[in-house]
Amino acid sequence: MIRLTARGGLIAMALLVPAWDACLPFESGPTETLRINVAGLSQGATAGGSVTVTRIDVAATPLVVPIPGSGRDSVSVPAGTYRVSYSAPAGYIRAPGTVNPRTTQVATGRGATVSFQVQVVIGFAPPDLLANASFETDWNGFVDWSLRPLPSPGSGQFSIARSQDVSYDGAWSARSTFGPNLLDNSIHLAFPFGNRLDTYVRLYFYIVGSVPNNHHKWIRFQTAGFNGVEGGLYLASSTGGVTWCDVGSRPNSNVDIPLGIGIPTFNTWHSIEVEYDRRAWDSPHGPRVRFWYDGTAAVGTNPPGTAFWGDDAGALNGHGPWLYIGAPARAALPSAILWIDDTYNAGNTNSGAFYYDRIAISTQRIGP
């Protein structure tokens, strides 16, 4: 069980039990029981996912609670209004119609119960923010950095266009080309999806020629109004391939964190999926992110500074699946825009092209 003080501070340890509660008097202040139900887990399930509990009527630190395989747990919190966000365990998705997050009032003398429904993954739920953009007839809502329609004018070897050169599905894809650059250059391929603290992005990509040999800001999460990037994927040969950078990772800001993927093979389609979770942005662990490459979880080794690989509860675990930034972010700063190939830093001497297809954005796991 986990207890939260009336001032929002965590004062006890995690003690997770299948029974509803084993409340211990860890503090003198009054608390109530917030019960969490997860239905649909298979008999013998070893994990039930996790919830992020955030008090929203007063300032308080979010609390991440791992749910056992029984699907039942509880947390003692002061009476108040809470937002409860659920993340399903591996092999499950939220059942259609399940509301997430849920807002609930924890009442004095009554507590509260929140329930979620999951189902075993046979396929994956359709993406609910962008459903597999494949550029068959138009740009599927993608725009440039000023939110104007594509395509943007090219600049030397840097261009963006719909193409029938190769495609993963259908006949078309988006082709983004690059070349040597003495100054920073960019391609504008952006999709606004509204403010979200927990976002999944999955796309298919195909590389021809080479990858840049200097910093390449590849697939990133912009805030509303292009007010700054908080986290994103980089891809360059100089940094060993695919990496992650999060500006909240001070002292890791702008440091490439390897993901165990390396440089993708050329002339073949790959998929990459990212879940960027900023719901607990002001917790000691800060934002977190996890990755799937060609449908398989990707986990790197030994990130620098405060960052670390950990489990659902935020405990250190070299097998992941989460990369925790390891420090509170400066603000919530929800993601609002997917931005692809937004900057090639000066000094790149390579040339090549990226093709993109079946780009999806969702509030839950998308799958390959």
Domains plus CATH for the chain? 2-120 (2.60.40.10), 130-362 (2.60.120.200)
Mean pLDDT of 96-119: 89
**Contact 272/292 with Cβ under 8 angstroms?**
yes
Helices in 138-221 by DSSP H: which ranges? Answer: none
pLDDT band at 14 (very low <50, low <70, confident <90, very high): very low
**Contact 133/111 with Cβ under 8 angstroms?**
no
- Across the chain, what does the average pLDDT equal? 86
How much is the pLDDT for 249?
A: 54
pLDDT band at 95 (very low <50, low <70, confident <90, very high): confident
How much is the pLDDT for 126?
A: 87
% of the chain beyond a pLDDT of 70: 90
The residue written with tokens 């390396």 in the block is: 262
**Contact 85/116 with Cβ under 8 angstroms?**
no
pLDDT band at 121 (very low <50, low <70, confident <90, very high): confident
Instruction: Decide if pLDDT at 6 tops 70.
Output: no
Could you tell me which residues come within 8 angstroms of residue 230 by beta carbon, excluding any fewer than 6 positions away?
A: 221, 223, 246, 247, 248, 278, 287, 329, 333, 335
Mean pLDDT of 115-143: 90
Instruction: Decide if pLDDT at 92 tops 80.
Output: yes
This prediction has a pTM of: 0.73
